[in-house]
């Protein structure tokens, strides 16, 4: 397809577009990393035409699962990741409130669970274990247990991990 698409690098809180430029504005996997998501949503609303749609697709890091058997260890590592490796790990569950506070109408939110491809995402899970150990959230013995079980599950083709994603869509009120 020869579509007239132009990519631009910019600041989500100061988009380089005029007001009311787009019929639809969209962002994905951005808002967990923003300390203040409200200004970025306000920018999406600003550049969207009245009656147009704003859409976000965002994960909720508190919903990550992995089938490591030690529940206490899993909770320590995953809670650490949610609370320290993102600025808004719970953004998925807050999209409805965020959209309504941002003045959007006809807001809908849908959820879906994404199953990670084990080989592609095992490095992520190994790294968050190492990060939790560096920050003394888990001990070296717990890190060894975490890594050994992930490798064992991978070798048996039994590693299973997921995350929930939320898609919120709202309309800019017509003037």
Residue 17's CB is within 10 A of a number of other CB atoms, namely 14
Cα→Cα distances 114→5, 132, 164, 166, Å: 28, 24, 6, 10
Contact 132, 73 (CB under 8 A): no
**DSSP alpha helix (H) spans, the chain:** 37-46, 71-84, 91-101, 118-134, 140-155
- pLDDT tens string for the chain (175 positions)? 788 888 888 899 999 999 999 999 999 999 999 999 999 999 999 999 999 999 999 999 999 999 999 999 999 999 999 999 899 999 999 999 999 999 999 999 999 999 999 999 999 999 999 999 999 999 999 999 999 999 999 999 999 999 999 999 999 999 7
Which pair of structure tokens corresponds to residue 23? 């019929």
Tell me the C-alpha distance between 80 and 58, whole Å: 19
Tell me the C-alpha distance between 102 and 118, whole Å: 37
């Amino acid at each position: 397809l020869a579509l007239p698409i132009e990519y631009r690098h910019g600041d989500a809180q100061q988009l380089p577009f005029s007001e009311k430029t787009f019929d639809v504005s969209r962002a994905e996997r951005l808002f967990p990393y923003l300390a203040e998501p409200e200004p970025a949503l306000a920018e999406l609303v600003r550049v969207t035409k009245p009656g147009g749609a704003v859409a976000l697709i965002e994960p909720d890091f508190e919903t990550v699962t992995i089938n490591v058997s030690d529940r206490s260890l899993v909770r320590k590592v995953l809670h650490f990741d949610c609370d320290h490796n993102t600025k808004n790990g719970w953004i998925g569950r807050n999209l409805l409130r965020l959209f309504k506070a941002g003045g959007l109408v006809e807001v809908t939110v849908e959820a879906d669970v994404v199953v990670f491809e084990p080989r592609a995402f095992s490095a992520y899970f190994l790294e968050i274990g190492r990060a939790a150990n560096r920050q003394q959230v888990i001990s070296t013995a717990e890190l060894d247990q975490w890594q050994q079980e992930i490798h064992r599950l991978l070798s048996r083709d039994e590693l299973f991990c997921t995350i929930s994603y939320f898609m919120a869509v709202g309309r800019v009120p017509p003037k």
